[in-house]
Structure formats: C-alpha cells, structure tokens
A = this chain, B = another copy of it.
Amino acid sequence: MRIFVDMDEVIADTYQEHINIYNKEFNANFTKVEAENKCSDFWKCVPPEHQQNVKDHARQVGFFRNLAVIPHSQEVLKELYHKHEVYIASAAMQFPNSLKEKSDWLDEHFPFIKWQHRILCGDKHMLKGDVLIDDRAYNLERFEGRAILFTSPHNIGEERFERVSSWLQIAEMLV
C-alpha cells in the first residue's frame, strides 16, 4: 500500500507556531482551543490590520525549522513506514525558504524517512497511490485513492472526507 502524508498540520504543528509568533509580536494570549472555537485559519482570528502579518509568517526564515511535532506522529509513522510504501508529500514550493528547513526538520524528527521518500511539491493530484492523509480539502478532492482528512482548526466544518483527529486513530486504521 502506498501512503502519502502531508507535513503542515499533520506531522508539523504550523498552527501553533502561528499562534506563538503572533502572541509574542502583539503581546497577545491566544490558545489553540480558543482559535478552534472562534475561527478557522488562524489569520481569521486576529484583527484585520494584523491578518497580512500572520499570512506572512510562512515567509520568515526559520518558520518551518522550529515547528513542534504533532503528538504520536513519530512512532506511528515509523510503524507505517516499515509496513507500507510511505512518502511525505508537502506543498512547499510556494515558500522557497521552507524547502531546506523542511528537509532539515525531517532529518531531525523523522530520520528514518529516506530522501527517496520525500516530495516537496505544489499540486498533489498527480501523485499515484492508495492513501493521502492531509488537512486541506483541496488536496484530498482531486486524489484518486482513499482521502483521509486530518483534523485542524481550519477544517472543522468539512464533511466530505473520512476524518481522523489523531495519529493514534491512524494507527488503528492503517498499521
């Protein structure tokens, strides 16, 4: 079985990093739970005059290098990797500074995923495989195989896909 796994919001906690940077910059105290209830993408949580600022976080040098790991993704992905043909597939090409940072981040937190099994791309619908685990509906919509939506604050209302909310659930389904 060939499985594609997205990075941001699936194994790397970009959402929390947006909150951390915003809180520091504007001396605010947002939490993820509050953001989940109040808005979808985090930039929608903040005053209009700060929204572009949040959108620009992803262009900052270092943003993608210091992300926290989503709980249990390391051990579950390691098991999957040894049982199936697993690829990381991240739509990173929009942010050229992110490319090496993502590679370095994977080296640190997922060293068992060889370079042959890492894909930094834009579109994902040209990927041929059995499963795609992603937080973005627009990636899942055009994927031919089993499309699994990983819960993130920005996709709470999405009902078209099989949904998982943790890596422990993925372990039950796929390992």
* A residues whose Cβ falls under 8 Å from a Cβ of B: 2, 4, 87, 93-94, 96-97, 99-100, 103-104, 114-123, 126-129, 144
Contacts and interface: CB of A to CB of B under 8 A. Distances in A.
Given A93-B103, A93-B116, A126 B123 contact: no
B87 A96 contact: no
Given A96-B104, A117-B123, A118-B121, 8 more contacts: A93-B103, A96-B99, A117-B122, A119-B119, A119-B120, A120-B121, A121-B121, A127-B128
A94 B94 CA distance: 20
Contact of A118 (B93, B103, B114): B93
B103 A100 contact: no
A118 B120 CA distance: 8
Contacts of A127: 126-128
Nearest to A115: B93
26 contacts: A4-B126, A93-B119, A93-B120, A96-B100, A96-B104, A97-B100, A99-B99, A99-B100, A99-B103, A99-B120, A115-B122, A116-B123, A117-B122, A118-B121, A118-B122, A119-B119, A119-B121, A120-B120, A120-B121, A121-B121, A126-B127, A126-B128, A127-B127, A127-B128, A128-B128, A128-B144
